[in-house]
Amino acid sequence: MTVRDFQQAFDEKIDREIAIEPRDWMPDNYRKTLIRQISQHAHSEIVGMLPEGNWITRAPSLRRKAVLLAKVQDEAGHGLYLYSAAETLGITRDEMYEQLHTGKAKYSSIFNYPTTSWADMGAIGWLVDGAAIMNQVALCRTSYGPYARAMVRICKEESFHQRQGYEILLQMSKGTEIQRKMVQDSINRWWWPSLMMFGPSDDNSPNTEQSMRWRVKRFTNDELRQRFVDVTVEQCNILGMKLPDPDLKWNEERGHYDFGEINWEEFWNVVNGNGPCNKERLEARTKAWENGQWVRDAALAYSEKRKQRAKSDTKAA
């Protein structure tokens, strides 16, 4: 078969919505795009552990503490599935870490914002996991098999996280005046960054068309963002809170909520490393990695020794 035949077989699979598997032929660009997207997603899960991890030791009740610990642990698990999915494309986890630590690979910018109150544990679950689900549900049917399967597992847990986050805010909103203030303050800080999670608007998103064709992406950034706004407004009303956007209003004609312009300057600033916590987040990851080097070396040395011993044992026998 020639490259053209391979390409044709690949295109046919894409058209007929048949999953591409690790051993199938795939265009270089497809492989590269997927590695970039999946590793970026994996890094987001891992860096995403930090802002919420920040409140584990300060959770206001033992039950909330247990739920938060379990949530952050889930995110670590998501990172694990995704790194494994990316590895099927011919890159190692260490290489991906290297890209993260040197700033070559990105992660979701939302995690570069600080968590300054307990209500942020609610707002992150509700808005950040909520926006992630919006993005990711579509990926459960993405063309690359291992990625799609990882997303099915992940999405189940993310929607659980979203409900738990919302529940934190609901409980607080039924509490005292100061708790309601805390909730509103948190929503004020997380709303716009959550909208930014959907990425640049469609006319500024160069990868969209090709990615749509490959079903690495299934809806455009703006479509998903609109969908997120529409469901979130209703949920916010139930909390008795306000979304911090004076332009937010129902548009009868469109059948959607209109909303204000995103601050794209802030968006690009944070993407380019100048957000409030970019430095801390990356430092925390790098530090964990560097401090862990001797531990990983020891584990490797020990397993090598065991293999050697097993070999000489069988020889002796």
Partner 1 sequence: MKNRILYTLQLADNALIYGHRLSEWCGHGPVLEQDIALTNISLDFLGQARGFYQHAANLFNALPLAEKQGMFLSVALEEKVKKGENIDEDDLAYLRDGWDFRNLLITEQPNGDWATTVARAFYFDTFNHLYYTQLQKSNDLQLAAVAEKSLKEVTYHKRWSSEWVIRLGDGTQESHEKMQAALNDLWPFTGEMFRMTDVEQEMADGKTGVDAAALHSQWKQDIVSIIDEATLQLPEGTRLQDGGKDVRHSEHLGYILAELQFIQRAYPGMEW
Tell me the per-residue interface mask from 44 to 63 with Fe ion, x by CB under 5 A, - otherwise. -x------------------
> With CB under 8 A as the contact rule, which of the stretches 25-33, 70-78, 105-113, 149-157 interacts with partner 1?
70-78
Radius of gyration of the chain (CA): 22
Separation of alpha carbons 56 and 67, rounded Å? 9
DSSP H helices in 138-272:
145-173, 177-196, 208-213, 221-239, 264-269
**Does 129 contact Fe ion by CB under 5 A?**
yes
Residue 82 and residue 132 in contact, taking contact as beta carbons nearer than 8 Å:
no
Separation of alpha carbons 54 and 315, rounded Å? 52
Near partner 1 by CB under 8 A: residue from 8, 29, 102, 171: 171
Residue 177 and residue 54 in contact, taking contact as beta carbons nearer than 8 Å:
no
Separation of alpha carbons 30 and 161, rounded Å? 31
Near partner 1 by CB under 8 A: residue from 32, 58, 249, 256: 58
**Does 100 contact partner 1 by CB under 8 A?**
no
| 3-class DSSP assignment, residue 250 | strand
* Nearest-approach distance from CB 60 to partner 1, in angstroms: 4
Near partner 1 by CB under 8 A: residue from 299, 307, 308, 310: 299
- Identity of the residue, 52 or 158, whose beta carbon is nearer to partner 1 in the bound complex: 52
Q: Give buried/exposed letters for 168-190 (b at 16+ CB in 10 A, else e).
A: bbbebbeeeeebbebbbebbebb
Q: Give buried/exposed letters for 278-301 (b at 16+ CB in 10 A, else e).
A: beebbebbeeeeeeeeeeeeeeee
The option from partner 1, Fe ion, none interacting with 69 (CB < 5 to 8 A, set by class) reads partner 1
Name the E strands within the chain.
Answer: 249-251, 256-258
**Does 10 contact partner 1 by CB under 8 A?**
no
**Does 132 contact Fe ion by CB under 5 A?**
yes
Tell me the per-residue interface mask from 190 to 229 with partner 1, x by CB under 8 A, - otherwise. ----------------------------------------
> With CB under 8 A as the contact rule, which of the stretches 30-38, 54-62, 154-162, 266-274 interacts with partner 1?
54-62
**Does 257 contact partner 1 by CB under 8 A?**
no
Please give the residue ranges that form the binding site for Fe ion (CB under 5 A): 45, 75, 78, 129, 132, 158, 161
Please give the residue ranges that form the binding site for partner 1 (CB under 8 A): 46, 49-50, 53, 56-66, 69-70, 72-73, 76-77, 79-80, 83, 118, 168, 171-172, 174-176, 178-179, 284, 287-288, 291-299, 301-302, 305
